[in-house]
Every structure is written in C-alpha cells, then in structure tokens.
Structure 1
Amino acid sequence: MNYDAKIDVRENELIEPAGNPLALDLDQDRASRRRVWIIAGLAIAALIGIWFLLHRGGNEVADKGNAQIPVVTVIVPGKTTIAGQINATGTLAARREMPVGSVGEGGQVRAVLVEPGDWVAKGQVMAVVDRSVQTQQQASQSAQVGVAEADARLAQANLDRALKLVDRGFISRADVDRLTATRDGAVARVAVARASLRQQQAQNARLNILAPEAGLVLERNVEPGQVVSGGSGVLFRIAKGGEMELRAKLSEDDLAAISVGVPVKVTPVGSAQSFTGRVWQILPVIDPTTRQGTARVALDFDPALRPGGFASATIDSGTVIAPMLPESAIQNDSKGSFIYAVDAKGIAHRRPVKTGLVTAEGIAVTSGLVGPERVVLRAGGFLNDGDRVKTKLIADGK
C-alpha cells in the first residue's frame, strides 16, 4: 500500500463518523426538548395572562356594580308626643259690625259729632239733621190736640146738661143718644190728635243719626251739608262693644280637627305682638272653589287689631303620640301617601301611611309606621319598590 492510499484511508475513516446516525438522533432530541420547554413556557404565560385578565375584569364589574347602588339618607323616627298646631291666615274684622244709616224722612245734616275711632254709647247722637220744618209740623199737631180736647169738653158738657133735663121731659131720649155720640166722637178725635202728635215727635226724634249700640266707630261716610234720607246708604259703621275677630281660612281637614273654644294665637301682619283668642264659631259652608271654610276667632279690642287687616293664626288642635317625619320623607301619588323603609339587607320597600297633625317640626304618621324603621329621608321620589340602596343614618332629620 502506497502512501497516498494510506492517506485516503485515514481521511475516509475520519469523515465517516460525522455521518453517524447516533449523533444525529442526539441533536434531534435536544431540539425537541427545547421546543417542548418553549411551548410550555408560552402556555404558562398565556394562562397567567388569562387569569390576570379574568380577575381584573371581575373586580371592575364588582366596582361598577357597587358604584351604581345609590346612597340614601335615612332616619329612625321613633315615637313623639306631638302638640297639634294648625297654621292659617285670615282677615281681621269686627265681630258684630253694625251699619248705621238714616231711618227717618231725612234732611240736611247740620253737624257730625263723632269720628272713626271714637267710642259711643247706645242712643248717642252721631249726626244732627235739620228739623226746622218738622218742628213747625209738630207745633201744629200739638195745637190740633188742643182743639180736639176742647171739642170733647164741650160735647161732654152738652151731654151732662141733657141728662139733667131728660127727667123733666124737656129733652127726649133720642136727643140724649145723639149728644152721647157727639161726645164719643169728640173723645175719639182727641185720641187721634194725640197719636198724630206722638208720631210727629217720634219722626222728629229719628231725624238725628243715633248709635244703635255701644261700640267703636269704624267708618264715617257723611259730612255737614249733605242731604240724607232712608236711601242714602250706610253713614257710619260701628263695632259692637269694640269686639274683633279673625276670619281664618282653613281646609276641610283642618276644620274637622278643631272645635269651638280651642285657643288661637293671632299675629297681625307687620306687628311683632301676638294676641290670644278662641274659636267662637265655625261656619257650616265650604267654598266650592277654594275648598276652604272659615273659623271665626274672637278677640278683645286692641288698637293694633285693625279691621280689614291681614293676620296669621296658630290654632291648638290637641296632642297625639306617634312617629313624626319631615315633610321630605312622605311621598304622595294617586294611591295616597307612602314612605320608603329600608330593611336589614338594604332593600327599599314602599309602605303606605296615613298622616295626622302637621306641625313646624314635621308630620305625624298615624298608621303604617311603628317607629323603629329606617325611613328614607330624601330622594324617595327616585326610588322604586325593591331597589337596593346604601344608607346613611342621621339622628334629627335635618
């Protein structure tokens, strides 16, 4: 074997192992393992990403759900002794207002003796009416009485003389009867004349304008020189005894809650002073337009109480023991009054109620509410029965 041959043999021996099947299998195994690890890592990363996304999305949904639950303010009313008060307004007026006019045949006013705000006694002259003509008529009638009395005396004397002569036969019984009739007629004419005189005197007395009752003069509608008569209308207005009243306007429900005799506190507009009175009459008629009635409150006289003025009134309507809620907690619709009560699970439930006394502090609930419930104070109009809410409790309802 020559040298070249040996070299070729060795090269062939060296090259041959490189194409060995065992070495190729080892390389393929290594590559497969790397691919498996890479795929496993990618799968784990994907699972972690999916887990993160799922948990993050769930939290966002929960947070969004919690954000949509409204927060409402609630109050626990309990039970309170409530002094019932009804607030009303009305007009001040004379309790017994007396219009005064001319009741005689009238005439020209010579003098007016009173002014608005004056006190007058019963029968006091308020205005003097000219009576010069009536005085002469009265004098004439008085003279007629004298003539009639003279005729009656003459007739009586003639009858007396006839009675003395009838027994002697000088005068017949028929003459006596005629003289008796003449005497009776003369006496009757005396009575007529006297009655006419009294009538004239009464008419003259009625010429002056007199106070029919003692009281306070409210109005004067006559001046000196004015001609008055029975058709002249009201010349004066008098408040009998100076008594005043407030004609308070109340709803039908409020009228049903009060009675005659209950105390009332009256405050005229523009005055810081209040007056105490009592309901003395409740008018039986309800105005069909306003659906209101009138309670008349008797008041003693005071210069601050001016008829025609406006005043507010606070009427005592008794006491009750019941839960009391602010007005904002009570809703109303076609089915009536209702509130929303929140249970222990945070669910709002509509509950119908009946209301009673209304005061400055709130409204009494006479039925439908016990007291320990949690009642929605505000925003009840935006809730529905069964809504879930979060509550914020306050103690005084403010």
Structure 2
Amino acid sequence: MNYETKITGEVADGVPAETAALRDGRMSGRMRGILIAGAIIFALLLAIAAYFALGGGEPAGAGDDNDQAPVVTVIVPGQTTVDGTVEVPGTIAARRELPVGVVGEGGRVVSVPVDAGDWVRQGQVLAVIDRSVQMQQAAAQAAQIEVARADAQLAQANLDRALQLVERGFVSKADVDRLTSTRDAANARVRVAQAQLAELRARNARLNVVAPAAGYVLERNVEPGQTVGAGTPALFRIARGGEMEVLAQVGETQLASLSTGVVAEVIPAGTEKSFEGQVWQLSPVIDPQTRQGTARIALAYAPELRPGGFATARINSGSTTATVLPESAVLADEEGSFVYVVGENNTAERRAVTTGIVTAKGITITEGLTGTEQIVLLAGGFLNPGETIKPRREGA
C-alpha cells in the first residue's frame, strides 16, 4: 500500500524529532557556558593589567627580587641662588614723635585752631591760652619804663646845670659826684624796667602752644575752655616731617643676618598694599625673655600707615647659594629634618639636613646636601632606610 513509503517528518536521518531537539538545546547551553567563562577570564586579565598600569609597577618575574621594589620619583636639585627674606611682624609708629605740652604758666584755653590729621609748620600756633591778666601786667611795666626814663632825664638835667656852676664856684666837686651817681642810677632803673617788660612779653608769648617742628598731628588732647598748666600731659603729638617706621620684632638668629640700609617691604594689616622702606637701625640689645630684637624700618608718610597698627615686614637678608627642594621631599620627625637619597645598589638612604628660609620654589637646605644627589621627591614617608627602590627621574 502507499502509506508504507509515506514520510511524515517524524523521522529524519534515522533520528526521531524529539531526540534532535534535545541535542540542539544541550549544544546551545554548552556554548553559552563557554562564552561566559571566556568573558570572566578576559575581565580578570583586564583588571590585572589595569592594576600594574595604574600602580606604576610591572609584573614580577620569577626569581627576580628587584622587580618587587617600589618605583619612586627622584630629582637632582643642584645649587640655586636664593634671595634671602626675613618675614616678621611689627608695629607702625612715628619715626620721631614730638609730644607738645604747656611751656609757660598755663591758663584757660581760648581756641585750638588745629586738629588731628592736620599738617603744621614749625612755630605754628596749636592752642591759644587766655592772657588778659598778663597783658595788663605788661602794660603796667611799660608805664614803669616811662617813669624811669623821666627820672633819668631829670637827673641828667640836674647834672648838666651843676657842671656849669662848678666853674663859677657855686657847686662843689662833691655835689657833682652825687648828681652823677643819681643820673647813672636813673638810667639803670630804665634798663631794669625794659628787661622786666621783655620778660613779661616772653612769658606771654609762651602762653601759646606752638609746633616745635613741621609735621603731621597724630593726637589732639585739649579743647577750648580747658585749664592747662605745667603738669598737664601732652596736649598734642606730632610726627616730625610725617615720617613713619615699623618696629619689627626679629629673632636673634635672623637679626644677625640683617644690616642697616637693606630694603624692606611693609604690608599693613587689613590691606594688601605694600610700602617700600629701609632698615635704619638694628636693636643693640636682645630681649632676654623673648630672645628678639627690634629692626626699625623707615617709611615715608602714607594715609594707610597709622601709628599703633600692625604690619608684616619682609626684609631682604641678602643672597645665598643653596639647594632648594620641594616641600614634599623634606620630611621631619623627633630627630629633625631629613630627606631620602638614592644610595648604593638603589637603596633608600636617610640624610639629615638643615633647612633655611622658605621661598616660592621650595625649602632652602643650608647643610646636608651638595645638590648632586638623587633625592626622593614623593612617597618618602613610606620608605625605610636601606629599602631597595627603583629610582625614576621626574618627567621621565
């Protein structure tokens, strides 16, 4: 019959349809497993490569101990000419401050024509004191001079008449001597009266408080109506010529490196504006308590320089040739400052150093280095003396 040769799709190549479907599912699952395992291995290889690339190291070779050494960046600093600068605090003051008080006997203040912040010239009147009584005394003394002159004129006339009568014998020689003495005494009384008047006028002139020198008025401590005298504190304070200065407090070690005449830069507190000055005096003594001395820096007048205010002074201490290192290369502990240099067989060698001033380029090393050494720039805090390292020049 025809159905013996009929093919229905239930058998293909001698394998049932159910068996073929099961075989295809197993093959696709095995392929997925292989792909997943390959992806995991590839990810591990990428992680290992990234670790060595970012960590600056290299895969260690079997049997090579140097490959385990850390790679460090080093520099050869050499020698640099450094302009020394001493930065110290200080106080602004008048270079020559003139306290002005009452010179005469004093009295009631009538007027004060100047105020703090004014410029005055030498001899200018700062305060006027009432002198009404003194003026009357001077007038009385002037009248006494006229009286004395009249007496002197009368004595001179009497003497002249006596001299004419001596020749005729009406007046004796003794009378002439007496009249001469009277004339001389009268002239002396005139001179005494004139001197007394001059004294009164001088005293009256001293009642005015005047400026002893030209300058800038810093303080005014008197008002009209106030009674002042010889014991009254200073009525005015004047900066002669308006000159200012900074009293910079300098340690005794730094003071030894300074000299008069060097240039200094002064920056008052509260402002970034700087003023150029010059050291004109160094303290001859050191304070035994603070171990500091005073460097006096002369400055020209400027409105920003107010006596009593604080300022920062940068004083030029001269040029020197030394090794300059970045701050990251200089370490410190209880034993002092030190750096790591590359020693024999690429080992880290601790080297004690003496630091100097700090500049914009780094820290100055005054002792301990020649500048030809290879200095560990970074990661020195993680090294130990004698540890093997791999030095790498900065920028390589």
TM-score band w.r.t. shorter chain: 0.7 to 0.9
So what's the TM-score if we normalise by structure 1?
Answer: 0.73
CA contact (8 A) 1:261 1:278 kept: yes
Matched, 1:388 2:387: yes
Helix, strand or coil for the counterpart of 1:189?
Answer: helix
User: What is the aligned partner in structure 2 of residue 146 from structure 1?
Assistant: 146
Amino acid at match of 1:291: R
Q: 1:325 to 1:283 in 2, by over 3 A?
A: same
Which residue of the partner structure matches residue 56 of structure 1?
Answer: none
The 5 A counterparts of 1:7-22 are: none
Structure 2: how far apart are the matches of 1:343 and 1:218?
A: 64
Structure-1 separation of matches of 2:136 and 2:218: 35
| 2:102 partner amino acid | S
Partners in 2 of 1:197 and 1:323 — Cα distance?
A: 79
Question: 1:251·1:293 contact (CA, 8 Å) conserved in 2?
Answer: yes
Deviation at 1:209, TM superposition (A): 1.3
Does 1:158 find its partner at 2:158? Answer: yes
Q: Distance in 2 between matches of 1:332 and 1:164?
A: 115
User: C-alpha displacement at 1:317, in angstroms?
Assistant: 2.0
Question: Is the contact made by 2:245 and 2:296 (CA closer than 8 Å) also made in structure 1?
Answer: yes
| Uncovered stretches (5+) of structure 1, i.e. residues with no partner | 1-61
* Partner residue in 2 for 1:135: 135
Pair 1:244 & 2:244 matched = yes
Alignment length (residue pairs): 333
> What does residue 298 of structure 2 align with?
298
Unpaired runs of 5+ residues, structure 2, are 1-62
Q: Please, which moves more after superposition, 148-157 or 273-282?
A: 148-157
Q: Tell me the distance in 2 between the aligned counterparts of 1:152 and 1:179.
A: 11
Give the alignment's TM-score, normalised by structure 2.
0.74
Q: SS of the counterpart of 2:344? A: coil
* Alpha-carbon distance between aligned partners in 1 of 2:322 and 2:107, rounded to the nearest angstrom: 69
Larger gyration radius, structure 1 or structure 2: 1
AA at the equivalent of 1:243: E
Q: 1:302 to 1:320 in 2, by over 3 A?
A: same
Indicate the SS of the match to 1:198.
Answer: helix
The reply to whether residue 215 of structure 1 matches residue 215 of structure 2 is yes
1:300-326 residue CA offsets vs partner (Å, 9 max, x unmatched): 111111111111121222222221235
> Compared with structure 1, are the counterparts of its residues 309 and 180 closer, same or farther at alpha carbon in structure 2 (3 Å cutoff)?
same
1:230 matches 2:230: yes
Q: Residues 167 and 339 of structure 1: is their aligned pair in 2 closer, same or farther, counting only changes over 3 Å?
A: farther
Q: How does 1:249-260 map to 2 (within 5 A)?
A: 249-260=249-260
Bigger shift: residues 177-186 or 268-277: 177-186
Distance 1:392 1:234, change over 3 A: farther
TM-align CA RMSD: 3.3
> 1:100 is matched by which residue type in structure 2?
V
* Most deviating of 288-297 and 154-163: 154-163
Percent sequence identity over matched residues?
60
Cα deviation for residue 223 of structure 1 reads 1.0
For residue 220 of structure 1, what is the amino acid of its counterpart?
Answer: R
Contact 2:331 2:381 in 1 (8 A): no
In structure 1, the residue matched to 2:115 is 115
How far, CA to CA, are the matches of 2:279 and 2:175 in structure 1? 77
The answer to whether the Cα contact below 8 Å between 2:346 and 2:391 also exists between their aligned partners in 1 is no
Amino acid at match of 2:387: R
The answer to whether the Cα contact below 8 Å between 1:106 and 1:229 also exists between their aligned partners in 2 is yes
SS state at 2:138 partner: helix
Match of 1:20 in 2: none
Q: CA deviation at 1:275?
A: 1.3
Superposition pairs for residues 1-398 of structure 1, below 5 Å?
75-326=75-326, 329=330, 331=332, 341-349=341-349, 351=351, 353-375=353-375, 387-388=386-387, 390=389, 395=394
CA distance in 1, matches of 2:217, 2:268: 21
Distance, in Å, in 2 between the alignment partners of 1:376 and 1:323 is: 14
Alignment CA distance shift 1:362-1:196 (3 Å): farther
Distance in 2 (alpha carbons) for counterparts of 1:169 and 1:375: 125
Cα distance in 1 for residues equivalent to 2:152 and 2:73? 104
Once residues 393 and 286 of structure 1 are traced to their aligned partners in structure 2, the CA distance between those partners, rounded to angstroms, is: 49
1:323 counterpart SS class? strand
- Conserved? CA contact 1:86–1:358, under 8 Å: no
Contact 1:331 1:381 (C-alpha < 8 Å) held by counterparts: no
Q: How far off its partner does 1:149 sit?
A: 1.9
Take 2:246 and 2:84, find their aligned partners in 1: how far apart are those partners? 20
What is the alpha-carbon distance in structure 2 between the residues aligned to residue 286 and residue 358 of structure 1?
A: 25
Equivalent AA in structure 2 for residue 246 of structure 1: V
Deviation at 1:164, TM superposition (A): 2.6
Query: Structure 1 residue 395: deviation in Å?
Result: 4.6
